[in-house]
């Protein structure tokens, strides 16, 4: 039986699961719990408009789309998302196709992360779910006990949320990850960053282009029939101010394979930012009744287009172990959370690292450059190698509880 939710009594509220963060991990978890009739409250430090307009990821793996469909959350995604059959890898100005549908029978969907977030928020609120925006100074306590408490401030009032489980879905700069007292962080920083822009320019084709170029990597992506998303490899300490619109377009035209018939439309740049390229895995992902998911536990470099998908995959495992603990009377199954997630996390780290090292320029290391060319040649000429890349890109199936790594 669900605890009486949101029974406000002098600033003290109660729920079963307190979810910190309304990103993809926290919102998908809220929907999965609601589908199991488990009560939850989402606490988000930003306002609704901010989280709904934060430009980030755009590639949805096949299992992510299937999950959103099963949850009845894919109506707009199916209408507006762009189904992509494959990707293109450009080497020395020549494009090579990796046809996902031919190689795996599956495809990916281009749909902005902020659109996913908008859909999840709207559906959660329409279903009577609780999302507290602008929840400040969120502080989970008593996570070692079976009655954790989350303190926060809202509208200038101090509030207390009592719960059974705290789900830390608050991203890489959140407060939950560091509360896992005995965690070990394994990490790697790449010697470059990405300059990403969103432009009001119609895409000229319906596949992404990952371009390996002597001047550095470039990526051609899109968001809609009128908006293109583009990235350039830049120095890790690069300043946005150094990149005028003309310089961005000139560099894209140089690195993208314009010589082989590829066309690049230009247009007003409506968003821009620099993103560090970093890999990290923090383990364990649980401390007592606090369980962390998504970027709060691990970061992957964007080249594999995996961060949002991995955050959602964690949420599926988390919902299952919470269900086991709260409904199945098996709290010991919370111990399965970390090992089950870590299998996919490391497979994803491996894939993202591989895509990153295969495609970016690393200083003037001629030996490494030749190895990169050879790897690109293998991937673009061997069906077995292309199938391996395609299977990882479209997304490995989500783990079922039966596959728990215990």
Which residues make up the interface to ligand RFL (CB under 6 A)?
20-26, 43-46, 51, 56-59, 113, 135, 138, 169-171, 174-175, 194, 196, 275, 294-295, 302, 305-309, 311
Count of residues engaged in binding ligand PHB, rule: CB under 6 A: 10
- What, of ligand PHB, ligand RFL, none, does residue 113 touch, CB below 5 to 8 Å by kind? ligand RFL
Contact status: 256 vs ligand PHB (CB under 6 A): no
Contact status: 300 vs ligand PHB (CB under 6 A): no
What is the 8-class DSSP label of residue 179? G
Distance CA 330, CA 132 (A): 30
- What, of ligand PHB, ligand RFL, none, does residue 303 touch, CB below 5 to 8 Å by kind? ligand PHB
| The one segment of 46-54, 149-157, 199-207, 299-307 that binds ligand PHB by CB under 6 A | 299-307
Long-range (24+ apart) CB contacts under 8 A made by 175-179 are 175/20, 175/138, 175/139, 175/140, 176/20, 176/21, 176/140, 176/290, 176/292, 176/296, 177/282, 177/292, 177/296, 177/297, 179/140, 179/143, 179/287, 179/290
Distance CA 73, CA 290 (A): 27
Binder among 302, 310, 341, 379 for ligand PHB (CB under 6 A): 302
Distance CA 348, CA 396 (A): 9
3-state class of 389 per DSSP?
helix
| The one segment of 65-73, 147-155, 297-305, 341-349 that binds ligand PHB by CB under 6 A | 297-305
| For ligand PHB, the closer CB: 90 or 219 | 219
Report CA torsion sign: 181, 183, 184, 185: negative
Dihedral in degrees, nearest 10, Cα atoms 68, 315, 352, 59? 20
Closest CB 373 distance from ligand PHB, rounded Å: 20
| The one segment of 159-167, 298-306, 316-324, 335-343 that binds ligand PHB by CB under 6 A | 298-306
Residues that bind ligand PHB (CB under 6 A): 57-59, 208, 219, 221, 229, 302-303, 305
């Amino acid at each position: 039986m669900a605890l009486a939710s949101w029974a406000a009594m002098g600033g003290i509220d109660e729920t079963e699961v307190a979810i910190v963060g309304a990103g993809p991990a926290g919102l998908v978890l809220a929907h999965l719990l609601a589908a199991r009739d488990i009560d939850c409250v989402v606490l988000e430090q930003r306002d609704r408009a901010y989280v709904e307009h934060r430009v980030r990821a755009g590639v949805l793996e096949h299992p992510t789309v299937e999950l959103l469909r099963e949850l009845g959350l894919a109506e707009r995604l199916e209408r507006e998302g762009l189904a992509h059959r494959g990707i293109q890898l450009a080497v020395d100005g020549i494009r090579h196709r990796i046809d996902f549908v031919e190689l795996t029978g599956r495809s990916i969907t281009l749909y902005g992360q902020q659109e996913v977030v908008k859909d999840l928020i709207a559906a959660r609120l329409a279903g009577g779910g609780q999302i507290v925006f602008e929840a400040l100074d969120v502080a989970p306590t008593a996570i070692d006990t079976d009655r954790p408490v989350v303190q926060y401030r809202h509208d200038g009032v101090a509030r207390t949320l009592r719960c059974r489980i705290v789900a830390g879905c608050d991203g890489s700069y959140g407060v939950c990850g560091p509360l896992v007292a005995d965690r070990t962080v394994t990490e790697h920083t790449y010697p470059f960053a990405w300059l990403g822009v969103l432009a009001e320019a119609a895409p000229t084709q319906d596949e992404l282009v990952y371009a390996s170029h002597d001047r550095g990597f470039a990526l051609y992506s899109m968001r809609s029939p009128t908006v293109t998303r583009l990235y350039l490899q830049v120095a890790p300490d690069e300043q946005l101010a150094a990149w005028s619109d003309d310089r961005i377009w000139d560099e894209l035209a140089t690195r993208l394979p314009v010589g082989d018939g590829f066309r690049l439309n230009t247009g007003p740049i409506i968003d821009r930012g620099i993103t560090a390229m970093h890999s990290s895995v923090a383990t364990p992902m649980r401390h007592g009744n606090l369980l962390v998911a998504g970027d709060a536990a691990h970061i992957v470099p964007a080249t594999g287009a995996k961060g949002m998908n991995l955050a959602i995959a964690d949420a599926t495992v988390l919902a299952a172990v919470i269900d086991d603990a709260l409904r199945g009377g098996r709290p010991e199954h919370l111990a399965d959370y970390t090992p089950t997630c870590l299998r996919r996390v490391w497979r994803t780290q491996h894939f993202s690292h591989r895509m990153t090292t295969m495609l970016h320029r690393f200083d003037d290391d001629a030996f490494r450059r030749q190895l990169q060319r050879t790897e690109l040649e293998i991937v673009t000429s061997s069906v077995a190698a292309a199938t391996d890349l395609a299977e990882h890109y479209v997304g490995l199936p989500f783990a079922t509880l039966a596959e728990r790594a215990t």
